[in-house]
Amino acid sequence: MKADAVRGHLDGLLLAVLEPGPLHGYAIITAVQRRSAGALELRTGTVYPALNRLERLGLLRSTWDSVGERRRRCYELTDAGRRALAEERTAWRAFTEAIGAVLNPADARPGHAS
């Protein structure tokens, strides 16, 4: 996977891994990596600023929680975040259909009764 590939789709990834429940930043990175079978390795310089931005936008809410002396910042989806996630999924579908239609015009697209 070439670097920079997630450009424009990062927000959706972050919102998606937070859908099942709250996670802290480091766990978000490993969750994305695990869910993508190792294909997507986000960097801290990518994730932490993005999480802050999403919180400023009201899509996430964060709380500090302590495990012993270690502090973790846990993020969870807000209602607006869930709506945004739904929009990201719709946009992703439109995006892949548009690019896919150009890249593979002869697609049989089975199961799609037009």
The residue type of 42 is L
Q: Which of 36, 48, 82, 91 binds DNA (CB under 7 A)?
A: 48
Helix, coil or strand: residue 60: strand
Residue 24 interacts with which of a second copy, DNA, none, CB < 5 to 8 Å by class? DNA
Distance CA 68, CA 66 (A): 6
Looking at residues 19 to 78 of the shown chain, list those that interact with a second copy (rule: CB under 8 A).
Answer: 32, 35-37, 39-40
105 binds a second copy (CB under 8 A): yes
Distance CA 113, CA 101 (A): 16
- The site for DNA (CB under 7 A) is made up of 3-11, 24-27, 42-46, 48-52, 67-74
